[in-house]
Amino acid sequence: MPPRDDEIIALLKKGMHLKEISEKVNLSERRIRNIRDQAGLSDISPEILSRDLEITNLYDSGEKVDEIAKAFNIAIHTTREIIKRIKRGGYGGYPRDPQFTLHNGKDERPANKKLSKRSDAELVMKYQGDLISLQNQYEGLLETYRKMESRYRDEIAALGRLLADLEMKHAEEMEAAQ
């Protein structure tokens, strides 16, 4: 490889973006992209790669995919795809996780990395009283709102009729005055 290409590869490995390198070495971004591809380097920016590795590490430590997605402000589907890509050795140069397997088309964590969690039924039983209390409060507020809405509707209708009567009286007085 020419020395200039070695310089470009070194800059890419440092994490510089194509545009920055282009300006520094006075070559087009397309030429730099070709050099990068010939060298077998990833086209993923260091920031994205760092973020994706962090996402995968959080997943491996037991975090739920939906919580990770919320923390990084990305879609749940995208979060799953990132984890799959990293685990399968995506981006080139990152070894495949030997414990990462597919089962019926779904990714599975190794058995030793699964979290022990209460079942939904246990949670419902534990918080059943609180849930019923909240439901009753909600229903009470909803009923109050409906009564107020009905009362205001009747009052608005009465005001509308009164206004129409006043306008009619005013029009009659105006006619009588002429």
Rg (CA), the chain: 33
Task: Convert the pLDDT of each residue in 47-93 to its tens digit.
Answer: 777 788 888 888 888 888 899 999 989 898 888 888 887 777 655 54
| Number of domains into which the chain is organized | 3
Please indicate, yes or no, whether residues 150 and 169 belong to a single structural domain of this protein.
Answer: yes
Does the pTM surpass 0.85? The reply is no
With b for 16 or more beta-carbon neighbours within 10 A and e for fewer, the 36-54 pattern comes to beeeebbeeeeeebeebee
Please indicate, yes or no, whether residues 17 and 65 belong to a single structural domain of this protein.
Answer: no
Please indicate, yes or no, whether residues 12 and 70 belong to a single structural domain of this protein.
Answer: no
- For residue 150, give Cα distances in angstroms to 96, 141, 145, 158, 160: 64, 14, 9, 12, 15
Please indicate, yes or no, whether residues 148 and 166 belong to a single structural domain of this protein.
Answer: yes
Please indicate, yes or no, whether residues 35 and 18 belong to a single structural domain of this protein.
Answer: yes
What's the pLDDT band for 105 if we cut at 50, 70, 90? very low
Please indicate, yes or no, whether residues 5 and 35 belong to a single structural domain of this protein.
Answer: yes
Could you say which of 116, 146, 163 is where a domain stops?
A: 116
Please indicate, yes or no, whether residues 51 and 112 belong to a single structural domain of this protein.
Answer: yes
Domain CATH code at residue 52: 1.10.10
Please indicate, yes or no, whether residues 112 and 52 belong to a single structural domain of this protein.
Answer: yes
Could you say which of 116, 140, 159 is where a domain stops?
A: 116
What SS3 state is found at 16? coil
Please indicate, yes or no, whether residues 100 and 141 belong to a single structural domain of this protein.
Answer: no
Which residue is listed with tokens 């990068």?
A: 36
Can you read off the two tokens belonging to residue 85? 């890509």
Please indicate, yes or no, whether residues 110 and 49 belong to a single structural domain of this protein.
Answer: yes
Please indicate, yes or no, whether residues 85 and 123 belong to a single structural domain of this protein.
Answer: no
Task: Convert the pLDDT of each residue in 131-173 to its tens digit.
Answer: 777 777 878 888 888 888 888 888 888 888 888 888 888 888 8
Give the residue-averaged pLDDT of 104-118.
Answer: 46
Could you say which of 99, 116, 133 is where a domain stops?
A: 116
Domain that holds residue 4: 1-41
Please indicate, yes or no, whether residues 112 and 122 belong to a single structural domain of this protein.
Answer: no
Give the residue-averaged pLDDT of 1-16.
Answer: 77
